[in-house]
Structure 1
Amino acid sequence: MNDHDTNPGQPPSNGAPPPQGTASPGAREVSVLDLLLVLARSRFFIVGTMVVFGCLGGLYAASTSETYTAEATVIREGQDASGAVGESALRRLGVGGGNAGGGGLGPGSYPQILKTREVRLAVARDTFSFPEVDEPMTYIEYANRPTEISWLGALLDYTVWLPWTLRDALTGTPVEKDEATVYPTPEEERAMRAVKGKVETKIEGRFMVISTTTRAPELSAELTKSFIRHLTDRVQDLRTRRTERNLEFVKEKYREAKKKLRAAEERLASFIDRNQNIRSAELRNQRNRLDRRVQQQLKLYNDWQSQLTQAEIELQRSEPVVTTVEAPVPPSDPSGPGTKLLLIVSLIFGLFLGVAGAFMRAFFQHAADESDEEVQAKVEELKRSSVPERLRRLKLSRQNE
């Protein structure tokens, strides 16, 4: 019998790899029947996984209440034409104009202003009707009301809010605060954090959509109205402060221009009194320079007088800074995924996880049943298929050297 006569099921005696296109020793093709057999053998495992995740999804859907989102669309009013003209006129005078008045407040800053401390505190101090309580109360009272899990509030009072808890314990009474406070109490801070997480904004050109999400449709609509109202008040207050600063700036410049005009006129009058009959060319030039100085100061005086009148009118003018296009109404349908959708997603996720687990278990069981020679042959085949032929030849040539 020749050396080349080998058994059909045995590998070559020289250890050479099998020809390309032939299966490695111990390897076999996986058919659709094999996959279906794995699924059939693991049917109880797959169904059990689906039931477990379905129950978890159902429990989560039952533990979370439905939420309702109320939306309102408003127009963010920009700088009016008279104000823009006034600021450009001030810049032409070389004094900075709008910057002096504290500009920079435009429609693009409205989403940030909506979530500022002042607006959130004003909303938290408003009174609303909550579904869990019988009588209306402020959001501060609602966020700090005693509940069944009051231990959580006590834990926060003696951990996160410990400095304020010690302050109230030492003073005996909470610190009195006015409406313009910038240092809220711990109760107010808790309410402000709660209302901040319920409001969202979306910009669509000059339009801004303000939406509020709560567990009650009427509460969502009332919260949205409160945010719009206090946003308008806050922007109006900031604009009024800017106009007042601009008015003080213009008044100061007007007084300076008036003083300089009077001084120039007095110098011109004094020159005319001293020189009644001017015949010298030098005196005529000096007279012309004084005349030009008076005319220049008179022009500045008239410009600042015009700006002063305009600033006074702008301070007394009351214009809407936020115009409501679509008022918020209590939504009829809940927002977010419903109970049925959560249950379907949980079952599908459990199905995929169960199928993946079944195939992984079958793979590890098959690998444990194989001999060391079969496993080594499959590893070698993986190396040959993953490493390019040129690199393997280069590696063998270097080993031979």
Structure 2
Amino acid sequence: MPPRDDEMTLMEMLVTLSRGRGLIVLSVLGMGLLGLAYSMSLPTEYTATAKVVREAGEDGGGGLPGGLGGLSQGLGINIGGSSVGLTPGSYPEIATSREVRLAVARDTFYFPSTGRRTTFVDHVNQPVGLWGRVLDYTLYLPWTLKGALGTFMQGMKDTPGTKDRSAGTDSTGTVIYPTDEEERAIQVLGGKISTSIAGSGALEEGSGLMTISTTSKDPMLAARLNEHVIEHLRTRVREIRTENTRKSLQFIEERFKEVDQELDAAEERLSQFLERNRSVLSGGNEPQLEFRRERLRREVRFKEQLYSQFQEQVTQMRLQLQKEQPVVTTAERPTPPTGPNAQSGTLYVVLALFLGGLFGAGGAFLRAVIQKRQNEEQNREQIREVQRSWTPSEILKGVQEELGIRKSS
């Protein structure tokens, strides 16, 4: 079928691009210069890496020490399972979790950009200088608008009572959640901490190695961030591994106190009974009193045995907690990187050149369409002029102009 009037053939497209070659070249050069300027304005960053061994542990840190399982069953006590479900596959998630990032954000570092030691939270929330504000509203304008929009949307979601929660404390002053400043620091650290695991299937499913990477504008700061991430990862994993053991120890200690009180009460009852009936029992003529004394003695012996068993288990569980070793072993310590990261400036320049070509081609086609519309309007106007010229009144007008009776218009 023949092409419609508003369709362009391949040859017309090539002709249009050829006619707009100058516009395309100028657009490519302009966008390329912008991309080059942006890539050169990117700050130099350094990445420090460390390798740690992910150890699963023998019993997940929640096993009950010897004999406690049988004791709890004999007493009708159901303490729960012996595993918290911590596997090596969960270590990368723990390393980048909010708990670890918040702990790192509250630590103190030396920042060469400011020349002073401060917490990461204070460094992130320090006032922005004049040059920083210029960058925020020029090169970094898209990210500035994105952050402002996110803050506005979060403010719309907040209830009237949430303003009191910005301090991150309850009525007693105990910190129960991050403050707004700490939340910003957590988000910043989210882009500076990353993890990766070995590609081998055996290592991936077993203990294996895990690489922790931290990025900063200073090589020494990058290494220090990595050290703190490993330390807080070790602490967090230890807390998770010993959670069941600590809960079991707390339960046994509470029960041990109860048994101690019951033993004291039983000994006191026996002592009072003997004190009241000393003269009668010495004669040996009261079977009921003898039976009562033996029953009190059996109760005391049972409480003593129970007390001894609980005392032994409390001691064992306390020793087990003390012997809990860190389950994150550093195989390769973080060191300050010798050089900056490979800049992705080439990618930005190539992307800018590509966008410049698209904008130039689009501009060439738009200009061709506008010119085509103008030519169509000019043709229509000429056709209408021809039609008007051959009307009787226009014919008479033409004759008069030829005779000089009327001036031509």
Q: TM-score, normalised by structure 2?
A: 0.56
* Mapped pair 1:199 → 2:193: yes
Q: How does 1:28-177 map to 2 (within 5 A)?
A: 36-80=14-58, 86=64, 99=81, 103-148=84-129
> Distance between the aligned counterparts of 1:24 and 1:39, measured in 2?
20
User: Which residue number in structure 2 is paired with residue 325 of structure 1?
Assistant: 331
Residue of 342, 350, 361 corresponding to 2:348: 342
The one-letter code of the counterpart of 2:32 is G
Q: Is the 8 A contact 1:76 1:107 kept in 2?
A: yes
Task: Classify the secondary structure of the residue corresponding to 1:325.
Answer: strand
Q: Is the 8 A contact 2:121 2:185 kept in 1?
A: yes
User: Which residue number in structure 1 is paired with residue 222 of structure 2?
Assistant: 220
CA spacing shift, 1:83–1:194, aligned 2, 3 Å: closer
CA spacing shift, 1:342–1:116, aligned 2, 3 Å: closer
Residue of 165, 183, 187 corresponding to 1:189: 183
> Distance between the aligned counterparts of 1:186 and 1:197, measured in 2?
18
* Mapped pair 1:358 → 2:364: yes
Structure 1 portions without partners, runs of 5+: 1-17, 260-273, 275-299, 372-401
Structure 2 portions without partners, runs of 5+: 137-143, 199-203, 263-286, 288-305, 378-409
The one-letter code of the counterpart of 1:217 is P
Tell me how far 1:218 sits from its aligned partner.
2.1
CA spacing shift, 1:162–1:124, aligned 2, 3 Å: farther
Residue-by-residue CA offset, 1:294-349 (whole Å, 9 max, x unaligned): xxxxxx99998986665343112031221112222233444364334322331133
Residue-by-residue CA offset, 1:209-235 (whole Å, 9 max, x unaligned): 222222222222211111111111222
Task: Classify the secondary structure of the residue corresponding to 1:50.
Answer: helix
Aligned residues: 306
Q: Is the 8 A contact 1:74 1:324 kept in 2?
A: yes
Q: More displaced, 101-110 or 236-245?
A: 101-110
Q: Is the 8 A contact 2:169 2:176 kept in 1?
A: no
Residue-by-residue CA offset, 1:155-206 (whole Å, 9 max, x unaligned): 989x9599999869xxxx9989999833444433333332233212234423
> Distance between the aligned counterparts of 1:61 and 1:304, measured in 2?
68
Q: TM-score, normalised by structure 1?
A: 0.57
How large is the RMSD of aligned CA atoms in angstroms? 5.3
Q: Is the 8 A contact 1:126 1:138 kept in 2?
A: yes
The one-letter code of the counterpart of 1:64 is L
The one-letter code of the counterpart of 1:246 is S
CA spacing shift, 1:47–1:312, aligned 2, 3 Å: same
Q: Is the 8 A contact 2:43 2:217 kept in 1?
A: yes
CA spacing shift, 1:104–1:96, aligned 2, 3 Å: farther
CA spacing shift, 1:55–1:244, aligned 2, 3 Å: same
Residue of 228, 231, 254 corresponding to 1:229: 231
> Distance between the aligned counterparts of 2:45 and 2:161, measured in 1?
33
CA spacing shift, 1:196–1:90, aligned 2, 3 Å: farther
CA spacing shift, 1:302–1:364, aligned 2, 3 Å: farther
Identity across matched positions, percent: 36
